[in-house]
Amino acid sequence: MNKIVKTTNLCKTFGKKHALSDVSVSISENSITGLIGRNGSGKTTLMRILAGKLDKANGEALVFGKEPMDNLAVLNKMVYTYHNVQYDQNLHLKTILFGYEAIFLNFDGTFANKLMRYFDLTGKMKYKSLSQGMASIFNFLCALSCRAPLTMLDEPVLGMDVTVRKSAYEILLRDYTEHPRTIIVSSHLLSELESILSDILLIDNGRVVLNNSVDDIRQSAYRIDGTPSAIGGYAADKKVIMQKKSELSSFAVIYEQCTEAVIESAKKQGLTVSPVRPEELCVFLTQQNKEAELECLW
């Protein structure tokens, strides 16, 4: 498949902090990729480099096969929105939409207006009068209406209530099926987003932890519950990414392809097997061992 984004050993530092270290990822054409990571893990830095808003330190970042920075041919094909877009605070929403229409060739003004009505926004509202959630909705609908071949949404659902978030995911998926394009969306709410994604890119401390299809990730780990000795025996030669022992429940999370054969063999040893959702897996793969610290809080 055609790769829209390809980075090789991409590095970025802010002073002494390594925001991105050796990031080599590729994103296929017409995929919806969830960019996942903890606060400060480098999600926004990566997006800003891809959007040509930030210079890289080392390595290579190609978008549509070219360096994005100061490259109009590339920038014309992408839209990037984030939660605190700096519009002139006194602008009316209608005026901002005109701006988008002037810049983006594929901008669908009719669709944008329909979305405005759907989300109860009017052109006469001022951007500064919008709440955080409403500003997010407005940025989201602008980005979607651009129908840009590469659409990058940085935390698009920030501040949206749960009802609006649900509509937003549904609209995003529906519009993608009508107008297939490459979408990258960063979020902390992977469990809500998971079903509409095709791929997940998990980064932690500026490094890539996972870059795979959601269908593969869903099957890449499983949880076993049982007696500590049964768990110990079963997990001895396996990669355990999380383990908990207590009187009430003991379990381990095994990082291994969850096939039917695996499930059978675990069951035979008296263990209960349950799935590990991608969101949980991301937590297990990125949490530092803070259990002991947590116990010390009280």
Q: Please tell me the distance from the alpha carbon of residue 5 to that of residue 24, in angstroms, as a whole number.
A: 10
The site string for another protein over 227-266 (x = CB under 8 A, - otherwise) reads -------------------------------x----x---
213 binds another protein (CB under 8 A): yes
Minimum CB distance to another protein, residue 142 (Å): 23
Q: Please tell me the distance from the alpha carbon of residue 5 to that of residue 183, in angstroms, as a whole number.
A: 11
Which span sits near another protein by CB under 8 A: 12-20, 105-113, 170-178, 227-235?
Answer: 170-178
Among 94, 174, 239, 244, binds another protein (CB under 8 A): 174
Among 90, 170, 229, 269, binds another protein (CB under 8 A): 170
Q: Which tokens belong to 141? A: 């609908």
Among 13, 167, 198, 243, binds another protein (CB under 8 A): 198
Which span sits near another protein by CB under 8 A: 8-16, 53-61, 95-103, 269-277?
Answer: 269-277
Is 144 within 8 Å of 172 (Cβ atoms)?
yes
Which span sits near another protein by CB under 8 A: 80-88, 91-99, 169-177, 237-245?
Answer: 169-177
Burial classification of residue 159, based on how many CB atoms lie within 10 Å of its CB (0-12 exposed, 13-18 middle, 19 or more buried): middle
In the bound state with another protein, the residue whose beta carbon lies nearer, of 32 and 49, is 32
In the bound state with another protein, the residue whose beta carbon lies nearer, of 142 and 183, is 183
Q: Please tell me the distance from the alpha carbon of residue 78 to that of residue 146, in angstroms, as a whole number.
A: 9
The strand pair at 150-154 and 182-186 is best described as: parallel
Among 277, 283, 284, 286, binds another protein (CB under 8 A): 277
Query: Phi and psi dihedrals of 47, rounded to 5?
Result: -65, -40
Q: Under the rule (CB under 8 A), what is the footprint of another protein?
A: 31-32, 169-170, 173-174, 176-177, 194-198, 213-215, 218-219, 222, 258, 263, 273-275, 277
